[in-house]
Structure 1
Amino acid sequence: MDVPVPCVGEAKTEADFEAALIILEQPSQPVSVEEATRIARDMFGMTGMVSRLPGERDRNFRLRTAQGGDYVLKIAHCAEQPDMLDLQDSVLRYLRAKDPTLAVPELLEPSVPRAVWRDQAGEERIVRMVTFLPGTPLGNRSATVPLCTSIGGMLGRLDQALTGFHHPAQFHALLWNLRNAAYMRNFIRYFPTEEQKALADAALAAFEQQVLPVMATLPMQVIHNDFNVHNILCSAHAIEGVIDFGDVIRAPRVQDLAIAASYMMGTGTQPVEQFMAILSGYCQTIALTRAELACLPAMMGARLVMSLGISSWRASRNPADAPYITRNQAIAWEGLARLEALQDTLRDRMLTFAAATSTGP
């Protein structure tokens, strides 16, 4: 790797960042349905129909019990650190206590003192179970304006609930933290065309010029950090649930909104109205500062480049998992192109919105 990682706020060092790549580079050992069935029975006292679910780091299985309960068994990657998993679990417990009406998975307690399974390679894997949330992923629906308003509203409620949450691992080195966007210049070479490389380079330049100088001054808190179309469950007009808290981290709160809005730019037929809808929905609960609003478009572009760069790099190393790893690329390229074409329009709409709603400098 050639581009250094800038230290912003409590950012980790470049060595820490490189260490964070290990989990993504190292293939996880497979887990059979039969093994998952035994694990669910032995560690949680649960039996029923077990089937596979996709996952980036965990090996996930859906368990449908005879009593009608529906759950997700999560067998962690062998390189996953216990404090990272405790951070994720603590967030779910905190949200359950803070706002029980939020549609997020509920963590189940194991029936054994230590829920750890040893795989065929002799590696210990932490095991967890959460409730299964029904619903259709947004990636299988059209991102209508009313739906975007609902998505923004749910994200605002989620961030509001997490305002007072703290955990010792909340500053961990995470590949998917926007403060690492400059590192993505090392991954641009994986893009197939010069036009795509230039588009990505321009987005990173905007982030470096407009966001990095002020990033440490933006309001910070623990955020979901992965509000993408596969983690949002919805009906035709409203969000019904949020899953996958594997990337939670303490970061600028507007980063959460930028991630969600970036994926909305690549779906649907009204990108400007969809963007304004998710923004207004979010601000029904959280009033953003003018500085946060000013950073929002450049953060969106940087996130899309990260999605494209990391997924292209990972797919080159794990060809067998390439379809899953690159599943967001079409949306990301469309969103990045729209963001570039509509930047003047978005800026004008943002100025009007800021004048009417924003607080502080």
Structure 2
Amino acid sequence: MSAKPNFSHAQVVEIVNRLFRLTASEIRCLPSYDDQNFYVASIEGAEYILKILNSEDSKNPSLIEMQTYAMSFLHQNGLPSQTVLTTASGQLMSLEETDCGYGCQKYLVRLLTYLPGTTISKVPLTPRLLYETGKMAAVMDQILQKMEHPHLDVLQREKFIWSLSNVPLLEAYMSLLDGDPLEEVVKSVIHQYKTSVIAKRSNFRRCINHGDFNDLNVLVQPDETDGHRISGILDFGDMNSGYYIHELAITIMYMMVTHPEPIEVAGPVLAGWESVLPLNEAEKDCLYLLVLGRLCQSLVYSRYNVTKYPDNEKYLLTTAKSGTRLLNKLWELGKKDGERKWFTDAGTFSDK
């Protein structure tokens, strides 16, 4: 079983001092799905994020090394990504052993640069900001696709439940929805995915996905026009080999969950994306079902993780309430009308 880390304030102070030769002046716990994140300010005057990975992910240092390299690669190519600070002995990460209530386990620890800004979930999602979000997601995937690294193959992650290639894996978790009105919708989405999306996948363009371009992983800062600009891209833990269309579907879905009028979101995100990477016919035809597929993944797996980490229920179910309403709304709208609206809105937006 994957153990979520539960390091104490005192342990964090000791780790920061021992590994990085820094003296913490402030430490603050940050929300996280199944890892443990801390904001750290040092008396030396700098700010950092200390990330402690869950015990399961900590068993795969090659994957973490690849994610760390991807962050650095994006940063070198001008995108606002965090970079990792080496330990006093020159390592990118350290494996720390402790008992967090599950017996002695090992947890990978990294210290990341701090990016200023607030999460995009906390600001008005204007059409212009949504356009920029779609554009940023496309640029990010284009850059990631240019990476060369000896461990690139670790991103294949064939049984990774969060990959949009693996929507059918949801079937193993359907007992969590037993009797829930959502059950029939989720089953129908899985069925349509299997019958409509898989057959067209050979026409999707391959790439490396960030895989979790959500409203808590995108930072923004005010710009000179009284709007906001993207100032940070966080959390590369779900990186996997996938397809460009997957990243777009993920981005649309998470921006929808945050928005008071979710049906209005897809058009500007799609317009921003297509300003960089126009979709081909197969990708266009599958976008609606891929958005629904990701929404089903989010709703079902968050319920599953609540059974594993009941103390983290509030964070794990962040998207659940609005996500349930959104899934019903999109399902009622239907593929034909949904796609017509999205692509019409995108065309209107790009003509402005």
The TM-score, its normalising length taken from structure 2, stands at 0.86
Q: Is 1:347 aligned to 2:323, yes or no?
A: no
Native 8 Å contact 2:41 2:47 kept in 1: yes
1:298 aligns to what? 289
Structure 2 residue runs without a partner (length 5+): 222-226
SS in structure 2 of the partner of residue 277 of structure 1:
helix
Displacement of 1:246 = 0.6
2:130 aligns to what? 148
SS in structure 2 of the partner of residue 246 of structure 1:
coil
1:64 aligns to what? 41
Would the alpha carbon gap of residues 195 and 130 (structure 1) be closer, same or farther in structure 2, given more than 3 Å must change? Answer: same
Native 8 Å contact 1:265 1:339 kept in 2: no
Would the alpha carbon gap of residues 108 and 216 (structure 1) be closer, same or farther in structure 2, given more than 3 Å must change? Answer: farther
Q: Is 1:259 aligned to 2:250, yes or no?
A: yes
- Match for residue 192 of structure 2 among 195, 206, 210: 206
2:309 aligns to what? 318
Displacement of 1:353 = 8.1
Native 8 Å contact 2:176 2:300 kept in 1: yes
1:18 aligns to what? none
Deviations 1:196-253 (A, max 9, x none): 1122222222212221112244111111100111112224543322111110011011
SS in structure 2 of the partner of residue 227 of structure 1:
coil
Displacement of 1:111 = 1.4
CA distance in 2, matches of 1:29, 1:276: 39
Displacement of 1:193 = 5.2
SS in structure 1 of the partner of residue 29 of structure 2:
strand
Native 8 Å contact 1:51 1:61 kept in 2: yes
- Match for residue 144 of structure 2 among 135, 154, 162: 162
CA distance in 1, matches of 2:123, 2:275: 24
CA distance in 2, matches of 1:84, 1:178: 19
1:133 aligns to what? 115
Count how many residue pairs are aligned between Structure 1 and Structure 2.
Answer: 331
Native 8 Å contact 1:78 1:125 kept in 2: yes
Q: Is 1:51 aligned to 2:28, yes or no?
A: yes
- AA partner of residue 204 (structure 1): I
Native 8 Å contact 1:72 1:131 kept in 2: yes
CA distance in 1, matches of 2:246, 2:139: 15
Q: Percent identity?
A: 24
Would the alpha carbon gap of residues 146 and 341 (structure 1) be closer, same or farther in structure 2, given more than 3 Å must change? Answer: farther
- Match for residue 208 of structure 2 among 197, 214, 222: 222
Would the alpha carbon gap of residues 76 and 138 (structure 1) be closer, same or farther in structure 2, given more than 3 Å must change? Answer: same
Displacement of 1:305 = 0.5
Listed as ranges, the matches of 1:83-102 within 5 Å are: 83-97=62-76, 99-100=77-78, 102=79
1:17 aligns to what? none
Deviations 1:128-185 (A, max 9, x none): 1111222222233343322211211111221121121251311124221112211212
Displacement of 1:341 = 2.9
Structure 1 residue runs without a partner (length 5+): 1-21, 357-361
Native 8 Å contact 2:82 2:114 kept in 1: yes
Native 8 Å contact 1:262 1:335 kept in 2: no
Native 8 Å contact 2:206 2:242 kept in 1: yes
- AA partner of residue 132 (structure 2): S
Displacement of 1:113 = 4.6
Would the alpha carbon gap of residues 210 and 79 (structure 1) be closer, same or farther in structure 2, given more than 3 Å must change? Answer: same
Native 8 Å contact 1:181 1:204 kept in 2: yes
CA distance in 1, matches of 2:279, 2:193: 19
SS in structure 1 of the partner of residue 153 of structure 2:
coil
- AA partner of residue 156 (structure 2): F
1:104 aligns to what? 81
The TM-score, its normalising length taken from structure 1, stands at 0.84
- AA partner of residue 88 (structure 2): S
SS in structure 2 of the partner of residue 211 of structure 1:
helix
Native 8 Å contact 1:70 1:131 kept in 2: yes
- AA partner of residue 180 (structure 1): N
CA distance in 2, matches of 1:165, 1:226: 19
Listed as ranges, the matches of 1:236-315 within 5 Å are: 236-315=227-306
CA distance in 1, matches of 2:86, 2:34: 21
Would the alpha carbon gap of residues 192 and 237 (structure 1) be closer, same or farther in structure 2, given more than 3 Å must change? Answer: farther
SS in structure 2 of the partner of residue 230 of structure 1:
coil
CA RMSD of aligned residues (A): 2.4
1:41 aligns to what? 17
- Match for residue 327 of structure 2 among 323, 329, 336: 336
CA distance in 2, matches of 1:260, 1:322: 23
